[in-house]
Structure 1
């Protein structure tokens, strides 16, 4: 059954709107006008509902394309996100190259939240994929949570916990780019809507950083869009696209 059954617009248009909103940091009203310029008349409230419906599913379907960290040296931090007038804490982990590992939105910055996040980030990793180094700020919650995870066998005993400020420059820079996407929202209404939207912000950031480059057949922005479309069964399969690209290259060579 189609993921877009009952929608008044084709799936390509729905994904187009969701991807644009979560990739370029525009408001819903601005996106309504941008789509109007392309001949698509859709209300900003409809785009909002599309994002809430498809953003979490997009994250779920695309995460397998970068299932493991590219480095065992992690950087962990928690920027603030405003939800219903209150600050929430977006725990994030990237590797030393800036590649996204995982994220978790919590209403409180306590040891339980840190433990839940790090346990989630390490869940399913092979022994050689688990972190050898985790760099954080000097919040005591990290040390307590890591000690508990080691005791439970969820984190290697040999994992080094470092608290060196300059080493988190990589994740601080990544926070800045994510905040550019969050800024037009001007505060989320609920934690549920915040997390749903942030999931796709993170997916678009990961695609932009090339974390699914093996699946980007044309190695460009259109290739990124096709990764998303294929995840929802739209258009040709990846194999068909490869054959088409090869044919085009052979035609150019023959000419």
Structure 2
């Protein structure tokens, strides 16, 4: 989920999308975020609406064990060289490409190979519509 703002609505969409796309056994017990108050409001709204289990603990820790923020720093380092983006469309396309290539390099894309010998090629074709 990519948003130009960092408000409660975008945090609600981001967290809701994550929780909708996980299986029952994949639902986390703890969610670590940075200290932005929008995540707390979004999680409490998701719990009120029944879209998030009530027993999920929310920890607001700036860096400790926050995989998203650690990964985000590496992405920002790559993007800083591009001097920003002109539109959300170009930002989305560029970040999508960078993330796919990083997933391939880290070996995280093996679940998308579908048993095909040229799995990486198939994944790139599927993501970029080639």
Alignment size in residue pairs: 123
| Preserved contact between residue 115 and residue 146 of structure 1 (Cα < 8 Å) | yes
Structure that is richer in strand per residue: 1
* 1:166-199 Cα distance to aligned partner (Å, 9 max, x none): 4245434322321233133211111111112111
Q: TM-score, normalised by structure 2?
A: 0.79
Shift of 1:144: 0.8
1: CA distance, partners of 2:9 / 2:69: 23
1:188 corresponds, among 81, 85, 108, to 85
Tell me if the contact between 1:136 and 1:164 (Cα under 8 Å) persists in the aligned partners: yes
TM-score by length of 1: 0.43
Q: Could you tell me how far apart the structure 1 residues matched to 2:12 and 2:63 are? A: 24
Q: Which residue of 1 aligns with 2:48?
A: 151
Task: Provide structure 2 residue ranges, at least 5 long, that are not aligned to the other structure.
Answer: none
Partner of 1:229: 121
Residue of structure 2 aligned with 1:212, choices 98, 104, 109: 109
The verdict on how the C-alpha distance between 1:178 and 1:229 changes in structure 2, with shifts beyond 3 A counting, is same
Higher relative contact order (CA 8 A, sep 6+): 1
Question: In structure 1, what is the equivalent of residue 70 of structure 2?
Answer: 173
CA distance in 1: counterparts of 2:122 and 2:35, whole angstroms: 43
The alpha carbon displacement at 1:143 in A equals: 0.9
Establish whether residue 117 from structure 1 lines up as the match of residue 117 from structure 2: no
Aligned partner of residue 89 in structure 2, secondary structure: helix
- CA RMSD between the two structures: 2.5
Q: Computing the radius of gyration over CA atoms, which structure comes out larger, 1 or 2?
A: 1
Q: Provide structure 1 residue ranges, at least 5 long, that are not aligned to the other structure.
A: 1-103, 218-222, 234-255
Match of 2:60 in 1: 163
Equivalent residues in 2 for 1:198-209, closer than 5 Å:
198-209=95-106
What is the aligned counterpart of 2:29 among 119, 132, 157?
A: 132
